[in-house]
Amino acid sequence: MARVEIRDVWKAFGPVKVIHGVSVDIVDGDFVVLVGPSGCGKSTLLRMIAGLETIGSGEIAIGETVVNHLPPKDRDIAMVFQSYALYPHMKVAENLSFSLKLRKIEQSVIDERVAAATEILGLEPYLGRYPRQLSGGQRQRVAMGRAIVRDPQVFLFDEPLSNLDAKLRVQMRAEIKRLHQRLGTTTIFVTHDQVEAMTMADKIVVMNDGVVEQMGTPLDLYDNPCNLFVAGFIGSPATNLIEGVVSTDNGCAVMINGARLPVTKELEGRLSEGQKVIYGFRPEHLELGGEENGFLSTVSVVEPTGPETHVVLQFGEKEIVAIFRERHDFGVGQEIYLRPRVGNVRLFDPQSGDLV
Amino acid sequence: MAVSRARRNRVAELGAHVILLTFTVIALFPVILIVINSFKSKRAIFRDPVALPNAETFDLVGYTTVFTQGNFPLYFWNSLSVTVASLFFVLLFGAMAAFALSEYKFPFNRLTGLYLALGIMIPIRLGTIGILKLMVATGLVNTPWALILVYTAQGLPLSIFILSEFMAVVSKDLKAAGRIDGLSEYAIFFQLVLPLVRPALATVGVFTMIPIWNDLWFPLILAPSEATKTLTLGAQVFVGQFTNNWNAILAAMTLAIIPVIFLYVLFSRQLIRGLTAGAVK
């Protein structure tokens, strides 16, 4: 187990800059998820930690050691790949023990560790099989087993669940989390799926275009996104983000499509008449209102999911989504008054994208 | 509807088989002709070339000639050793070059690949005089190495071209996993990548082997001595200016087919795919 420090790391592939000065401090034993859209540099960052990509500039330290120039095998890491990357010509048992044999570890220790990993992951029945004889979930478990037997300082996961079907993915998600709770090894997990990030992470690092947009605990990111990107990326359905203009007549509010949308007292001081802002609120922070305190919108799609109902509404030219836990009998085309919970409203600057 | 479609399918299937069978017969006919006539007396060969040997016409004179005249077991051995050695070097160096080209990023990577593949389009025989001068200068004339070196050079371009395509599709994650587990680059090449491109190696092997085994040109020019004669060159003693010893020629040709078939069977077993299944995705 170890702390991982990434200090001002840059990376370019030829003229294309992929990582622009990323600094992340990963506490010993944390489960950290790097999340972002494809091409944001999260996989590259992980591969740099693994030693599979060179580091342009900056430093990466695992434990107390700066690993910039160490080859992957000397970094004391283990990695699980999206494609599992099992050795095709070796049986499961050999796949598990291979890296230890290469390290010339005593056979009795190898047997012990393989047995332990086998037990944790329930691989007993598959030890004599070849990878091609296993299903996707089983292969993924073998890949994890191969990482566990190494007993590394850090686990690296590169989108390990992306090849699994939806049901298995949810199951493996819980399994990986349970594994982390049991072993307590520092884990860095890359995914493009924000649901995976939210459900698994102790700490999420949101990346976009080679920079870290925000890092924090899942709920902290959800409740307090620091900019437009994070607000839009974390959460599904996404945060409603609508452009508007500040009006200070009759108390402070944001004018959108002729409707007055409320802001908190706290925000009022930071706003001035005529200022353009982006008004953001999560779908579940909408409630039914009346003519005097709500804005009028038209129901266009109703999606019941069971526990809650997602309603897509037309608000002026903008489409917004509302989530209701109570069951309402909305018809398509029906006009309803909605009101955002003022305490949950976040305003962003349209130019910089930052929180106002 | 369904019935007529099924019937039409069966007719199409039959048609395909007829075409394939015709082709097989055409392709095999000369081979079979050689084999059956090699077991017949000279007169029987000319009287009825397509007849099978019977008690009256059966004659092993061709084979006895081949084994008593000249040094056929030696020629045989020369052909085999030159072919196998060349094959080994073509596959080894071809695979290594292909691995380097597909795995590592270095300046002029693509240009180097193109340069190495250029040999596919340029017949090596155009350089015969240069090669001969080189072999004379290095004293390799009339040694098997003259042939092995030339055949290796001749086989490499195609081998690099085909193998680098195959190596490019070997999972990057698998190689990365090997590196993290502590495999050296050589181990990654020999233990992970080579087994996965075995079908491609077999294909290249077959393509490389046939022209080497059949070649008359370079043995004639570079290694015509008695000690280094190959089978194709050795068989030429039965081809005379005025008369050919048909029994001996046919027997020599029949014998020459055997190792090719043996090597082909060896390779074609490797052609079976599915080894990679389950490794990735």
pLDDT in tens, chain A (356 residues): 689 999 999 999 888 889 999 999 999 999 999 999 998 999 999 999 999 999 999 999 999 899 999 999 999 999 999 988 999 889 999 999 999 999 899 999 999 999 999 998 889 999 999 999 998 889 999 999 999 999 999 999 999 998 888 888 998 899 899 999 999 999 999 999 999 999 999 999 999 999 999 999 999 999 999 999 999 999 889 999 999 999 888 778 888 888 888 888 888 888 888 899 999 999 999 998 887 778 899 999 999 999 999 999 999 889 999 999 998 889 999 999 999 998 999 999 999 999 98
Q: What pLDDT score was predicted for residue B92?
A: 96
- Look at residue B55 and tell me if it is in a domain: yes
pLDDT one-digit tens code per residue, A97-124? 999 999 899 999 999 999 999 998 889 9
Q: How many distinct structural domains can be found in chain B? A: 2
Nearest to B79 by CA among B220, B219, B266, B253: B219
CB contact under 8 A, B180 and A89: no
B265: distance to nearest CA of chain A, Å? 22
Range of the domain at B140: 70-237
B226 in the same domain as B90? yes
- Look at residue B196 and tell me if it is in a domain: yes
Output the CA torsion sign for A285, A288, A291, A292.
negative
B82 in the same domain as B53? no
B109 in the same domain as B150? yes
**pTM of the prediction?**
0.80
CB contact under 8 A, A50 and B174: no
| Minimal Cβ distance to A72: which of B179, B276, B278 | B179
CA atoms of B88 and B263, how far apart (whole Å): 13
Q: Which of A83, A151, A159 to mutate to test the interface with B (most CBs of B within 10 A)?
A: A83
CB contact under 8 A, A102 and B182: yes
| Minimal Cβ distance to B180: which of A77, A89, A131 | A77
CB contact under 8 A, B173 and A83: yes
B78 in the same domain as B34? no
CB B160 within 8 A of CB B115: no
Nearest to A77 by CA among A107, A32, A46, A115: A46
B227: distance to nearest CA of chain A, Å? 43
* String of DSSP letters for A190-237: EES-HHHHHHH-SEEEEEETTEEEEEE-HHHHHH--SBHHHHHHSSSS
CB contact under 8 A, B179 and A51: yes
**HSE-up of residue B79 (Cα within 13 Å, Cβ side):** 30
- Look at residue B273 and tell me if it is in a domain: no
Q: What pLDDT score was predicted for residue A152?
A: 92
Residues from chain B contacting residue A103 (CB–CB below 8 Å): 182
B40 in the same domain as B105? no
B47 in the same domain as B18? yes
- Look at residue B169 and tell me if it is in a domain: yes
The CATH number given to whatever domain includes residue B176 is 1.10.3720.10
Residues on chain A bordering chain B, Cβ-to-Cβ distance under 8 angstroms: 47, 50-52, 71-73, 77-79, 81-89, 98-99, 102-103, 130-134, 139, 146, 158, 163
B28 in the same domain as B97? no
CA atoms of B209 and B84, how far apart (whole Å): 8
Q: What pLDDT score was predicted for residue B277?
A: 40
Residues from chain A contacting residue B184 (CB–CB below 8 Å): none
Residues on chain B bordering chain A, Cβ-to-Cβ distance under 8 angstroms: 171, 173-174, 176-183, 192, 195-196, 274-281
B11 in the same domain as B112? no
| Minimal Cβ distance to B192: which of A71, A72, A87 | A87
Task: Count interface pairs A-B at CB distance under 8 A.
Answer: 83
B190 in the same domain as B152? yes
Give every residue of chain B whose pLDDT is below 50, as ranges: 1, 274-281
Residues from chain A contacting residue B176 (CB–CB below 8 Å): 47, 50, 52, 72, 79, 81, 85
A152: distance to nearest CA of chain B, Å? 11
Q: Which of B16, B31, B61 is the last residue of a domain?
A: B61
- Look at residue B108 and tell me if it is in a domain: yes
- Look at residue B130 and tell me if it is in a domain: yes
Residues from chain B contacting residue A47 (CB–CB below 8 Å): 176
Which residues are A346's β-sheet partners? A280
Nearest to B76 by CA among B268, B254, B221, B265: B254
Q: What pLDDT score was predicted for residue B54?
A: 83
Q: Which of B105, B110, B173, B194 to mutate to test the interface with A (most CBs of A within 10 A)?
A: B173
B275: distance to nearest CA of chain A, Å? 7
3-class DSSP state of B70: coil
pLDDT one-digit tens code per residue, A152-205? 999 999 999 988 888 889 988 998 999 999 999 999 999 999 999 999 999 999
Nearest to B235 by CA among B225, B227, B243, B245: B245
B203 in the same domain as B101? yes
Please work out, in degrees rounded to the nearest 5, the angle formed at the alpha carbon of residue B146 by the alpha carbons of B141 and B150: 140
CA atoms of A236 and B126, how far apart (whole Å): 68
CA atoms of B189 and B102, how far apart (whole Å): 12
CB contact under 8 A, A73 and B275: no
A73: distance to nearest CA of chain B, Å? 5
Q: What pLDDT score was predicted for residue B4?
A: 65
Question: Could you tell me the two tokens for B207?
Answer: 């393509």
Per DSSP bridges, beta strands A253-256 and A240-247 are antiparallel
| Minimal Cβ distance to B279: which of A52, A86, A99 | A86
- Look at residue B186 and tell me if it is in a domain: yes
- Look at residue B281 and tell me if it is in a domain: no
Q: Angle, nearest 10°, between helix axes A92-102 and A136-149?
A: 20
3-class DSSP state of A348: strand
B176 in the same domain as B87? yes
| Minimal Cβ distance to B280: which of A77, A85, A103 | A85
Cis status of the peptide bond prior to A131, with omega within 30 of 0: no
B176 in the same domain as B45? no
First to last CA, chain A: 39
> ipTM of the predicted structure?
0.82
CB contact under 8 A, B171 and A85: yes
Q: Which of B104, B105, B174, B181 to mutate to test the interface with A (most CBs of A within 10 A)?
A: B181
